[in-house]
Amino acid sequence: MTNSDIIIMIPVEGIIKDLPSVEDDEVGRIYIQALDTTSKYECNSTIVNSIERKSLGKAEIAYLSDEYDFSKIKWIECSIIYSYQKISNLGVLQIIIQKCTEEDSQIGDIVSSNNISLKLCDRELRLNQYIEYLKLGISGEIRCIYCNDIKEKDENQLKYLLAGETEQSEHSDYKISEAVKEDLGKDNLAKYDFYELYASTRAIVYFLMDYSDENTPDYEREALLLFICEIAILQNAAISRINRQIVDELLQNSSISSRKTLKLQTEFGKTVLLWDNSVFNYYLAQELSDNIVKAFNTDRLMEEYKRNSKHIEHIASLKNGIAADVEAKILNIIAFILSISQLIELIRGIAGFVKGKEVVFGAGGVGVLLLIVVILIINKRRKR
């Protein structure tokens, strides 16, 4: 299949502080305008106003066979868009190939095999180098969205697009099994009669009944789907980030503190707008969004997050319990010392009275001072 609008969506962590200056990119401008307009019509203003979009200009993406011989690269023109939500410090980097003239399934294979390369002003960069150049970090799985004419629909190729593998392999001669093919793309998720839509964990394939054959953008009709995918990718980025942070924290510091746990959960709480069940004004749009979120395995990631959260909360609770036990023992020891010091003081007082001597009471004061010091130490421990 060729002539598709292909959008590669990359979940990223971080906000580009100094956006690079770029020449006017008509494709990027039309794309952003379509998403801005459609999202304002279809969605509640709170979520719409929290997401900004900027063009990062034109570039070229490397197209090569699944032999991945980088001496045989063909460069395809593309545009790069950066969507971001400041409050959550998350974004989506989008590589747009308008009316791609090359084999679609091979683009999916390039994404699956982590072989995305870009050329910007004659400078060739692998995707991770470009992300680093922008001072961002990848947070989650990369997805492909394919938009084409319903007349181009091929059941066999649809399976390969959803699997993220090339249909025309030069590397191997085996094919996807029939059993897997039956499962992939069996459900049309369309909510209206002007398109068909199929989804997997890797990709979305969107067939329009009236698709432009010319090099004319169809983004106005694709915009709602693209906005839904933006939200779903941001959700995945949010969960992937906190799951990674929890695992990293446990590997680096097995005795995670309550304060660190609170910090992690507070940061995740800043993504609350992404989880609003009333993002979309229309029921069918919300239902389509729910289906795509499910296809992207967001539920599985959320379950992983819940397990991780319970684990660190349990560790923090045990740590606090141990600390409280230690503090109780320290206080008991201090109380014992004080009682002994008071007893000594009493004996000295009696002895002095019997001998008619003046007694200087000092041991009790030392005990009280010791108690104050211990309390200060315990308070300091609790703030860690």
Q: How do the pLDDT tens digits run along the chain, 384 residues long?
A: 788 999 999 999 999 988 776 777 899 999 999 999 999 999 988 999 999 999 999 999 999 988 888 878 999 999 999 999 999 999 999 999 999 989 999 999 999 999 999 999 889 999 999 999 999 999 999 999 999 999 888 888 999 999 999 888 777 777 777 777 777 888 999 999 999 999 999 999 999 998 887 777 789 889 999 999 999 999 999 999 998 988 887 777 766 667 777 788 888 889 988 988 788 999 999 999 999 999 999 999 989 888 877 877 766 665 655 555 555 566 666 655 666 666 566 566 556 655 555 555 454 555 555 556 556 665 665 555
Q: Which among 300, 318, 336 is the end of a domain? A: 318
296-301 long-range CB contacts below 8 Å, 24 or more apart?
296/141, 296/143, 296/199, 296/201, 296/232, 296/233, 296/236, 297/201, 298/232, 298/235, 298/236, 298/239, 301/236, 301/239, 301/240, 301/243
Say if strands 117-120 and 123-126 run parallel, antiparallel, or are unpaired.
antiparallel
> Do 342 and 288 fall within a single domain?
no
| Residue 207 within any structural domain of the chain | yes
Q: Which two tokens stand for residue 298?
A: 């967001």
Question: How would you write 141-158 as a 3-class SS string?
Answer: CCEEEEEEEHHHCCHHHH
> Do 343 and 314 fall within a single domain?
no
> Do 72 and 111 fall within a single domain?
yes
Task: Of 306, 326, 328, 338, give the one whose Cα is nearest residue 239.
Answer: 306
Q: Which two tokens stand for residue 136?
A: 């961002």
Q: How many CB atoms lie within 10 A of CB 11?
A: 26
**Burial (0-12, 13-18, 19+ Cβ within 10 Å), 239:** buried
> Do 314 and 335 fall within a single domain?
no
Helix, strand or coil, per DSSP, at residue 235? helix
Q: Rounded to an integer, what distance in angstroms lies between the CA atom of residue 320 and that of residue 310?
A: 15
> Do 164 and 39 fall within a single domain?
yes
> Do 243 and 160 fall within a single domain?
no
Question: How many structural domains does the chain have?
Answer: 3
Q: Which domain holds residue 334?
A: 319-382
> Do 212 and 86 fall within a single domain?
yes
